[in-house]
Amino acid sequence: MKCVLMNKNTEVLIADYNSVSKFFDKIIEVKNIDYAPYILKSFYEEFDFDNNPFRTNLSEWFKGRGIPSWRDKLDLLLHRLDITTPSELLDKAFGLSLSDQYWLKPYDSNIKYDDINFFDHDFDYSEFLEASLSLNSKTIKKEESLKTPNNTTDGMLKKAWIIEDNIRYLLKGGYKNEILQPFNEVLATMICERLGFNHVPYTIDTYKDTVVSKCPCFINKDTEFITCYQIKNDMKRHDSNEDYEDYIKILEENGIKDARIKLENMYILDFLIMNEDRHLNNFGIIRDVNTLKWLDVAPIFDNGQSLRIEYYDEEELIISGHGRLFYEVKPFEEIIKVVKNIKRIDIKKIEDLPHEFDELLHKYQSITGISDKRIYRLCVLLQRQINKLKRIIENS
């Protein structure tokens, strides 16, 4: 199929797209490389029209827009959607997403971005929501239920986009039998609100018999989220703090204000909640898709893998842990050292958080079944991290 890769209303390139393999068989013409997905720009230097890394990475980028193979209970979701692989969904709605403005336009079509984007137009999400998050669901019958931004969601957690009062919200469940993730997201929101960190606000909601986190989309139809993973192609890898410093330098060179402080805030949060999964795809920057101007560091989001969630033992309280600083896995006590002026944090603003978190966990205990012992230990962990940060501030 001959098609045009679009960035909102700008033509990026013309190519032959194989709707079966989901790969681009041939690039016919590059119209505007500046408006291509950021991760592809570095491969364009090696571009030729026959056999090249650019075409391969274009195909991998597009296929990567789909639901990943490691999504929790993927087999069940595919059964309910009556499809064989997640990639079958990519063609249902032009490859549109709520994280950016890229889409595939049939070459001879007169369709316009303003006619189809999910920021302006409602979508039928009810059946996909049930298929993703309900314990019991039937096979989807309506084809319209497969034409949604839910086709282009990443990550391992069960999730679904919904619309309430014309706002796009993402609902996320827990992983397998673990249901702490939504509460960790809300805990992160509590901390960010009190300390003044820019963040995506999460709340707790329930869908049928499931506790979920709920957050608004932080992208609009004029912006896109570019991950650190994409930006790293412009960076030499050091496997040290130099990777962190180089990333800040790139952000500052592209006009982002207070880049260092905003990155520090993210790692302060990770220290407090013991977030073990700050990988390169869950932080980045916001870019204007019309002017290509870098606008800001993306708000802090995706904080569910925290408070020793994967290592809980009813018989033992493990109080140490490791987080991620770019390519390195390091103790949280080492990561927090990247903060230049830790005294700017008013620790008093979060001293009562363990009590509030305890109340939140008990409020939903009849649904989650989290034991009193575990709730107590979670709050002990949180209190220990607050105390540790307090000592670091006092001794700095």
- DSSP letters spanning 149-178: GGGG--SSS-EEEEEETTEEEEEE--BTTB
Q: Confidence class of residue 136 from pLDDT cuts 50, 70 and 90?
A: confident
SS (H, E, C) 239-271: CCHHHHHHHHHHHHHCCCCCHHHHHHHHHHHHH
Mean of pLDDT values over 278-302: 97
Look at residue 252 and tell me whether its pLDDT is greater than 90: yes
Contact 326, 244 (CB under 8 A): yes
What tokens were used for 224? 């896109």
What is the distance between the alpha carbons of residues 64 and 205, in angstroms, rounded to a whole number?
29
Rounded Cα distance between 241 and 260, Å, is 13
pLDDT band at 22 (very low <50, low <70, confident <90, very high): confident
List, in order, residues 6 or more apart from 21 with CB less than 8 Å away. none
Alpha carbon distance 382, 334 (integer Å) = 18
Residue 137: per-residue pLDDT: 66
Task: Determine the average pLDDT of the residues in 305-312.
Answer: 79
223-395 topology per CATH: 1.10.1070
- How far is 308 from 342, CA to CA, in rounded Å? 24
Q: Could you give the strand order of the β-sheet that contains 102-106, starting from the edge strand earlier in sequence? A: 23-30, 10-18, 2-7, 102-106
- How high is the pLDDT of residue 314? 64
- Percent of the chain at pLDDT exceeding 70: 94
pLDDT for 127 equals: 87
Q: CATH class for domain 74-87+114-216?
A: alpha beta
How far is Cα 231 from Cα 248, in angstroms, rounded to an integer? 11
The pLDDT of 276-293, averaged and rounded, is 97
pLDDT at 145: 73
Taking residues 247-256, what's their average pLDDT? 97
Residue 49: its pLDDT value, please?
Answer: 58
Residue 247, pLDDT > 80, answer yes
pLDDT of residue 4: 97
Does residue 229 sit in helix, strand or coil?
Answer: helix
Tokens 């709520």, residue located: 98
Tens digit of each residue's pLDDT (9 = 90 or more) over 164-197: 999 999 999 988 777 899 999 999 999 999 999 9
CA distance 347 to 354: 13
Extents of the domains making up the chain: 2-63, 74-87+114-216, 223-395
253-263 pLDDT, tens digit per residue, is 999 999 999 99
Structure tokens of 394?
């006092």
Question: 104: which strand partners?
Answer: 5
Q: Is the pLDDT of residue 389 over 90?
A: yes
The fraction of the chain above a pLDDT of 90, given in percent, is: 74
Confidence category of residue 311, pLDDT binned at 50, 70, 90: low
Is the pLDDT at 244 greater than 70, yes or no?
A: yes
Choice between 214 and 233, residue whose per-residue pLDDT is larger: 214
In Å, what is the CA distance from 285 to each residue of 6, 197, 205, 381?
21, 15, 28, 31
Q: Three-state SS for 226?
A: strand
Residue 378, classified by CB atoms within 10 Å of its CB into exposed (0-12), middle (13-18) or buried (19+), is: buried
pLDDT at 96: 96
How far apart, in whole angstroms, are the C-alpha atoms of residue 358 and residue 181? 15
- Residue 148, classed as helix, strand or coil, is coil
- CB-based contact 249:197 (threshold 8 Å): no
Whole-number mean pLDDT of the chain?
92
pLDDT value at residue 82: 85
364-371, long-range: CB < 8 A, 24+ apart: 364/183, 364/204, 364/206, 364/211, 367/206, 367/209, 367/211, 368/179, 368/211, 370/179, 370/180, 371/314
Q: Give the Cα separation of 220 and 242 in Å (integer).
A: 33
- What average pLDDT does this structure show over 135-160? 81
Cβ burial, residue 172 (10 Å; 0-12/13-18/19+): buried
The pLDDT score that the predictor gives to residue 72 is 87
Maximum Cα interatomic distance, the chain, rounded to a whole number of Å: 67
pLDDT (average), residues 193-215 = 95
Residue 48 one-letter amino acid = D
pLDDT in tens, 294-306: 999 999 999 999 9
The reply to whether 223-395 shares the fold of 74-87+114-216 is: no
pLDDT tens digits, one per residue of 62-77: 999 999 898 988 888 8
pLDDT digits (tens, 9 = 90+) for 81-113: 888 888 888 888 999 999 999 999 999 999 999
What average pLDDT does range 26-32 have in this prediction?
A: 92
Residue 106 CB contacts under 8 Å (≥ 6 apart), including other chains? 1, 2, 3, 4
Please check whether residue 293 is in contact with residue 38, taking contact to mean a CB–CB distance below 8 angstroms.
no
Question: Residue 51: is its pLDDT beyond 60?
Answer: no
